[in-house]
Amino acid sequence: MLFTIDKAKKIIEKEIEKHTFGEHPNELYEPIRYIMSIGGKRMRPILMILSYRLFNEDLKKCIKPAIAAEAFHNFTLMHDDIMDDAPLRRGKPTVHEKWDVNTAILSGDVMLVKTYELLLTVEKKYLHDFLHLFNTMAARVCEGQQMDMNFEKREDVTLDEYMEMIKRKTAELLAFCMEAGALLAGADSKNRQLLKDCGYHAGIAFQLMDDLLDLYGDAHIFGKTVGGDIVANKKTYLLLTALSRAKENDKEKLKQLLSLDGIYAEEKIKEVKKIFDKLEVRTITELKINEYFEKAFQCLRKTEASMMHKNQLKKYLETLSNRNQ
């Protein structure tokens, strides 16, 4: 039977559905099942499975580690949402809103522990190396989140610093998923490295696209308010690019717009967008996104696996690069 992305997603959803994480006390485990059930693209487990499949078609050794990657991602969301004071996640109340902050802290903690327990299904010969990869990635994701929080208090964030932050906060996990898939399938270190780099570049592209879609995406499809990052004065790739390219006049105007609290949101978005347009921020960002996706494709091309399987992975990355949500 043909293996499709839809099939991969079904396998993942089924596995998530049957995994309870734990039973008693219910207050601890229900929020975990809740956040795992409210959807998302399942991009991380899909990437791990497709990377594994480049070298090995018998998926059973990869399913639970793939679920673990999704669980880790959701654990970070549960705690990040507390820190960002976010009321909604995927259109549903966040855990600290639906329950309370203490529940979100403690459920998140046990979720990370249960993620490690899922990782113990990894074949013993790979276990040490696999966990070392995971730990390294997990620490870097936390470091990225801390950098992101630090940026909120600073007015002198550079584009380089921003790139370093999204590398950690977003790209590391995608790189891990792809490298881990290759590792579990028995790929050699050269091919592991290629897939890691592929995930890394795709992860950066993915995050830049997130920044772009916040302002230029279709509000209905994207499911967020257009321009939310501008209203929140978030230091995104768009804003930092604009600030780095703006002449004295526009830079002053931008900074003034950022400092205004009384201005209507719509007006603020419109004014900032006008400056972005003048400075060709959209085009520059799109070029950057394409550059990173192209780098990802190059790594994939060099990977020693069947053309058919590589094409499937490439097509999946392309759907991510063409996404409007």
What residues make contact with a second copy under the rule CB under 8 A? 22, 24-25, 27-28, 79, 82-83, 102, 105-106, 108-110, 112-114, 116-117, 120, 124, 127-128, 131-132, 135-136, 138-139, 142-143, 145-147, 149-150
| Cβ neighbour number for residue 261 with a 10 Å cutoff | 7
Residue number, 18 or 124, with CB nearest to a second copy: 124
Count of C-beta atoms within a 10 Å radius of residue 236: 23
Which residue is it, tokens 């609290």? 261
CB atoms within 10 A of CB 150: 12
Burial (CB count <10 Å: 0-12, 13-18, 19+), residue 256: exposed
The nearest distance, CB 161 to a second copy, in angstroms, is 11
Q: Which residues pair with 88 in a beta bridge?
A: 93
- Supply the minimum distance, in Å, between the C-beta of residue 231 and a second copy: 21
C-beta of 13 vs 84, nearer to a second copy: 84
Minimum Å gap between C-beta 128 and a second copy is: 6
- In the numeric block, which tokens belong to residue 302? 């060099």
Residue 18, burial from CB neighbour count under 10 angstroms (0-12, 13-18, 19+): exposed
What is the nearest approach in angstroms of a second copy to the Cβ of residue 221? 32
| Min dist. Cβ of residue 217 to a second copy (A) | 28
Give the single-character DSSP code of 25: S
- Alpha helix (H) ranges present in 153-224? 159-166, 172-184, 189-216, 219-222
Least distance from C-beta 170 to a second copy, angstroms?
16
Closest separation in Å from C-beta 106 to a second copy = 6
Enter the DSSP assignment of 185: T
Distance (Å, whole) CA 51 – CA 55: 8
Cα separation, 5 vs 216, whole angstroms: 27
Report the residue number, 113 or 265, with the smaller CB distance to a second copy.
113
Q: Residue 21 gets which letter from DSSP?
A: -
Look at strands 88-89 and 92-93 and give their pairing: antiparallel
Give how far Cα 205 sits from Cα of 163, 167, 172, 300, 317, Å.
11, 10, 12, 15, 10
Least Å from the CB of residue 108 to a second copy:
8
